[in-house]
Amino acid sequence: MREVAVVGVGMNRWGELWEQSHRRIWTEAALEALSDAGVDRVEAMYVGCMSGGLFTGQEHLGALLADELAMGPIPGTRVESACASGGLAFRQAYLAVASGAHDVVLATGVEKMTDVDGAAATYALSTAADQEYECYHGLTFPGLYALMARAHMHRYGTTERQLAAVAVKNHRNGHRNPLAQYRDEVTLDQVMGATMVADPLTVLHCSPITDGAAAAVLVPLDMAKRLSPRPPVRVVASAHATDTIALHDRADLARLASTEKAAEIAYRQAGIGPSDLSFAEVHDCFTIAEVMVVEALGIADRGKGGALAESGYTALDGRLPVNPSGGLKSKGHPVGATGVAQVREAVMQLRGECGDRQVKDAKWGLTQNMGGTGASSVVHIFRRA
């Protein structure tokens, strides 16, 4: 397998983009990535999208978007793994380049979520869980993550204040991200006092419904050094793992086994451990998710993820910043795009292009993207080439 680098990234301004179509927001991000990479053709492309069918009535996005970019007859492949669709699209693009199947590959993610009403969006998102054994009985995603939060609080003494500290930190970072959906800072009291969605998660513990897209261009490392107008960033690890789809089948509701497994593989591939990381972009679809993810990644000891957020260790100026982009919480969560936007942030951080949210001396970055309640996880590690 060949070494692979990212030479271009792109993203549109995320939000409730009622005036823009699905394909329009995708094309904006894709063209920006191509321009950033300094290329005008790719040999293949991947699209991460969770539910084109339920959100917009449009499947077959691989072909549609290759056409939209006027790049047919190149192969355009859609991959889906619920909210990890973007990370998985990036991974398939990585494998296409690493294997030698293609030299210049575009990895993208997109979701247009606000063209349906709230109930329809909640239903569409529920298709990431076990429809027959969880959702038909009334569970929604805030409900599932609330169960995980309660399990974590019960076992480890995690507090609502610690969970809220995740939201405060991520909004503080997102405040500095011009493409984020919600750039407002929030206080602990605001998070804890907001409208309750599923106890203990108020609305400010939850990531929003978002329209957005992101894109990245991957090439073999040796080509990157010749081609790229910007410093290339190496992909040093790519891992994907699964866990039970239903929460009730897990031995431990307060652990994310798929992230643990994917991280174990990724650290081995990269030859580093969590203490070597300069920053991590992780899947904070709910505040409890970030707490459990930093534990699964070995950034926090087991049960200490909440305390770590509260301590400032994962703040932008802390020892190991987590979600310098603002995370899903502040930047937004267009489910199919999220994993690719994490890659964009990692690449820009490693290039030193993040302005007032720049992580100092960034050398190694990790991205972690998750589907459902952690039934699938995709982990990548990047470093400056």
Q: Return the H-helix or E-strand segment holding 237.
A: strand 233-242
Residue 21 vs 159, nearer CB to a second copy = 21
* Minimum CB–partner distance for residue 61 and a second copy (Å): 8
Maximum Cα interatomic distance, the chain, rounded to a whole number of Å:
56
Residue 31 vs 98, nearer CB to a second copy = 98
Instruction: Round the CA-based radius of gyration of the chain to a whole number and report it.
Output: 19
Residue 131 vs 187, nearer CB to a second copy = 131
Is 333 designated active site? yes
Cα 10-214-165 angle, rounded to 5 deg: 105
Residue written as tokens 């998985």?
A: 88
* Minimum CB–partner distance for residue 98 and a second copy (Å): 7
**Does residue 309 contact residue 282 with C-beta atoms inside 8 Å?**
no
Cα 162–chain centre separation: 22
* Minimum CB–partner distance for residue 131 and a second copy (Å): 4
Rounded Cα distance between 110 and 112, Å, is: 7
Residue 89 vs 272, nearer CB to a second copy = 89
How far the first Cα of the chain sits from its last, in Å, is 17
Among the options 22, 102, 152, 333, which is catalytic?
A: 333
Contacts of 271 (CB under 8 A, 6+ apart): 236
* Minimum CB–partner distance for residue 123 and a second copy (Å): 7
Q: Return the H-helix or E-strand segment holding 198.
A: strand 196-198
Quick one: CA dihedral 290, 81, 183, 315, positive or negative? positive
- Structure tokens, 132: 């027959």
Rounded Cα distance between 338 and 207, Å, is: 11
* Minimum CB–partner distance for residue 224 and a second copy (Å): 19
* Minimum CB–partner distance for residue 92 and a second copy (Å): 7
Residue 68 vs 276, nearer CB to a second copy = 68
Residue 199 vs 249, nearer CB to a second copy = 249
CA nearest neighbour of 108 among 40, 36, 56, 33: 33
DSSP string, 133-154: TTGGGT--HHHHHHHHHHHHHH
Among the options 83, 135, 206, 285, which is catalytic?
A: 83
- Residues near a second copy (CB under 8 A): 1, 21, 23, 50-54, 56-64, 66-67, 72-82, 88, 92, 95-96, 98-101, 123-124, 126-132, 135, 240-246, 249, 257-258, 261-262, 371-372, 375-376
Is 49 designated active site? no
- Three-state secondary structure call for residue 249: helix
Q: Which residues are catalytic?
A: 83, 333
